[in-house]
Structure 1
C-alpha cells in the first residue's frame, strides 16, 4: 500500500460526510418547528391559560391547543342589493391570506477533494581529474635514457536527495431548500379558513 493510500485511509470520512448530513436533518427539523411556531403565533390568539412563549399550549386533556383563530377585518364601501352605497366589513382569518413558510431540504451535495503529492529530487555531482608528468635525462651515448612518468587521477562523486510533500484538502457543501407543498391536513385547514371568510353589511 502506497503512502498516499495510507493517508487517505486515515481521513475520517464518516465525520466529514455524516456531519453535514446530520446538520441537514437538524435544519429540516428546525424548519418544521418554525412552521409550527408561525402558524401558532400568527394564526391563533394566545389562550388565557397559556404560558407566554410556548410554541403550543396544552389543555387539561393533554392535547395541544392552538387557541382562537386570529382574523383581520376590512371595511369598504360598495353598492348593496338595492343599489345604494353602503359600508361593508370583511373578516378574514390571517392564515388564509399570508403565505405559510414550509421549507424542505431538497438536495445536498458534498464534494471532497484530496491532492497528495510526493516528490524526490536527487542531485549528483561527478568530477574527474587527471594529472600526468613526463621527465627524462640523458648523460652519454652509452648511458641509458631515464624517463619518469607520473600519473595522478582523482575521481569524486557526491549525491544529495530532497523530498517534498504537498497535502491539499477541500470540501464543498451545497444545500438547496425549496418551498414545499403543504401537507394534506394543513391544506384542508386552509380550505376551512377560507370558507370562514364573512362579509357583513354595516348598520346604517
Structure 2
C-alpha cells in the first residue's frame, strides 16, 4: 500500500464533514431562538420586565403578555369637511419584518493533493587510454618497446524522494429569509384586523 493511500486513510473525514454540519444545525437553532426573542421583545409588553415572559417556566405554556402597539396621530377631514385629529393604533409586529432565517444550503469542499515521487538516476563513465612507443638500442637488444595503458571507469547513482501534501477546505453556508410559519401568519392576520382608527377627543 502506497504512502499516499495510507495518508488518505488517516484523514478524519467524519470530523471534517460532521462538525460543519453540526455547526449548521446549531446555527439554525440560534436563528429560531433569535426570531422568538425578536417577537418577544418587539411585539409584546411583558407583565414583569425582570422576567423572560416566554421562558419563565419551560414546563408550562408561555404567557406572551400584551400586544405592543404604536399609535399615530394625524389630521383628517370629517364628513363636514372639517379638520379633525385622528389616531391610528397598529400592532408593531404587523408593520415590521420579522426575521425568519433558514440555513438553505451547506457546501463542503475538501481537496487532498498528495505527491509521492521517487527518482533514481545513474551515471556511468568509461575511459581507456593506451600508448605504444618503440626505440632502437644496442645490437643484443635492437628493439625496445614501451606499452602504457590506463583505464578509468566511473559510476554514480543518485536516488531522490519527494513527498508533498496539500490540504484545502472551504465551507459555504447560504441562509435565506424563510416563509413565515402558518401559525405566525395567522397571528399577524389577527393583529392586522385589530388596527383601528378613532377620533381624538377634543
Question: 1-10 or 69-78, which moves further after superposition?
Answer: 1-10
Checking the alignment, whether the CA contact within 8 Å between 1:46 and 1:66 is kept in structure 2 is yes
Q: Give distance in 2, aligned partners of 1:57 and 1:168.
A: 49
Shift of 1:137: 4.1
Aligned to 2:123: 125
Shift of 1:2: 2.2
Q: Give distance in 2, aligned partners of 1:89 and 1:133.
A: 126
Aligned to 1:9: 9
Which of 88, 98, 101 is 2:99 aligned to? 101
Residue aligned with 1:82, SS: coil
How far does the alpha carbon of each residue in 1:138-167 deviate from its partner, in whole angstroms, 9 at most, with x for none? 345675644232322120111122211111
Aligned to 1:26: 26
Checking the alignment, whether the CA contact within 8 Å between 2:112 and 2:167 is kept in structure 1 is yes
Shift of 1:67: 0.7
Q: Which runs of 5+ in 1 are unaligned?
A: none
Task: Give the TM-score normalised by the residue count of structure 1.
Answer: 0.90
Residue aligned with 1:65, SS: coil
Q: Give distance in 2, aligned partners of 1:120 and 1:55.
A: 70
How far does the alpha carbon of each residue in 1:24-45 deviate from its partner, in whole angstroms, 9 at most, with x for none? 0000000000000000000001
Residue aligned with 2:37, SS: helix
Question: Is 2:170 the partner of 1:196?
Answer: no
Residue aligned with 1:100, SS: coil
Q: Which runs of 5+ in 2 are unaligned?
A: none
Aligned to 2:84: 86
Aligned to 2:45: 45
Which of 126, 132, 138 is 2:136 aligned to? 138
* RMSD, aligned α-carbons: 2.0
Which of 177, 180, 185 is 1:179 aligned to? 177
Q: Give distance in 2, aligned partners of 1:105 and 1:111.
A: 17
Q: Give distance in 2, aligned partners of 1:142 and 1:17.
A: 99
Task: Give the TM-score normalised by the residue count of structure 2.
Answer: 0.90
Shift of 1:56: 1.5
Shift of 1:123: 3.8
Checking the alignment, whether the CA contact within 8 Å between 2:137 and 2:144 is kept in structure 1 is no
Aligned to 1:35: 35
Q: Give distance in 2, aligned partners of 1:24 and 1:38.
A: 21
